[in-house]
Amino acid sequence: MGTDTGNFGIIVSGGPAPGINSVIASVTIEAENRGYKVYGFRDGFRGLLSDEEHSVVPLSINSVSHISRTGGSVLGTSRYNPLSHKDAGNRICSKLEKLLIDKLVVIGGEGSAYLSYRLTTLSDAVKVAHIPKTIDNDLILPNDYPSFGFETARSIGTEILATLIEDAITTNRWFIVSSMGRSAGFLALGMGLAAGATLTIIPEEFSDQYISPLEVAEIIFGSILKRFRYGKHYGVALMAEGLIDRFDASRVPELQNITRDELGRIRYADVRLEDLVAGQLRRLCKENELEVKITTKNIGYELRCHAPLSFDIEYTKFLGHGAVRFLLEGRSGIVIVRNYDNIEYVKLSEMLTADGRIAARRVDLGSDFYKVARSFMIR
């Protein structure tokens, strides 16, 4: 039995990623084995503020033992900022107290990590552990360890990209592809390198300047010209969706009055990056009397709820186990991390930037990772 009577709560926040269910199962199994009850909140932080009975579900070993290898989230998820609502703090504390929850596990990415930190400031009575989840791989973790879900997303994305490359060769066309990844280029660069994309363009290349869809199209057009000289009229150009953040909205009508999510971030899904760039690319080809078949493709949603690879299943079992262990030791305001074969934690307060947000990881253009990836491109 446990050393106190408080229960565990689990919240899944942000976009889906392979391995979420494995975390839920790991936390539940470890907590129940130690004598604690576990509750899951449906639909992320919305469930934490909801008064509906079905917003909270009891979890048990019997109900989660089969879900570790499955994609998606049995608790659902949402991008929702509960602290943006009046009196939200009191309502959150009241609901947790009603359920006797004094240990909370939040599964989420960079934006959700900030919410986890904010929750620790509401009450000392509730301990909070954050488990880093994102296919974007933009959370700063020890030894550059990836966030869970990334390895599966990269692997599945590579398979999709590889089929596009074969299609491009077979039909003599260019695919202009955008991939998820938010402001970081890890997913796109990893997929592009592994699959053998003709070139990959990431936002880190333009971190100190604004660009336009035309300038991105000109980079791809240069690649097309080089390929033409070799008699190859096909290719695949991959772009990370974070390029949208590097566009000057005043010069791109499609970005004016753009929708933002509950955390104030651009909803990339509402902007078809590949179409913006392809339109400019078709114009360049026409002006230069170059006949090129151009097809657009977005890779993203296919990756988020895929069944996790064994790497992510093993990884998430580490993280879930560690969350229970450290919360029972009285730790709070921490991010659970894996350091090779050991489970450790990093304080959320140490991950804050000067403006109070969670620091994000970006591709280092001076790293061998980027240099090797760039060496295989035709640009």
Write out the catalytic residue numbers.
Answer: 136
> From the DSSP assignment, how many helices (H) and strands (E) are in the chain?
12, 11
Q: How far apart are the first and last CA of the chain?
A: 62
Backbone torsion region of residue 257, taken as left when φ is above 0, otherwise alpha when ψ lies between -120 and 50, otherwise beta? left
- Dist. CA 52–CA 252, nearest whole Å: 43
- Dist. CA 287–CA 208, nearest whole Å: 30
Those residues whose C-beta lies under 8 Å from the C-beta of residue 163, and which sit 6 or more positions away, are none
Q: Positive or negative CA dihedral for 62, 14, 333, 123? A: negative
Residue 177: strand pairing partners? 238, 297
Token duo for residue 65: 């033992």
Are 17 and 149 a contacting pair, CB within 8 Å?
A: yes
- Dist. CA 67–CA 198, nearest whole Å: 38
C-alpha dist (Å) from residue 147 to 98, 186, 243: 33, 11, 21
Token duo for residue 189: 């660069």
Q: What is the CA radius of gyration of the chain?
A: 22
Token duo for residue 2: 């446990």
H or E stretch at 41: strand 38-41
* Among 304, 161, 168, 300, CA closest to 244: 300
Are 6 and 103 a contacting pair, CB within 8 Å?
A: yes
Torsion of CA 229, 232, 236, 239, to 10 degrees: 0
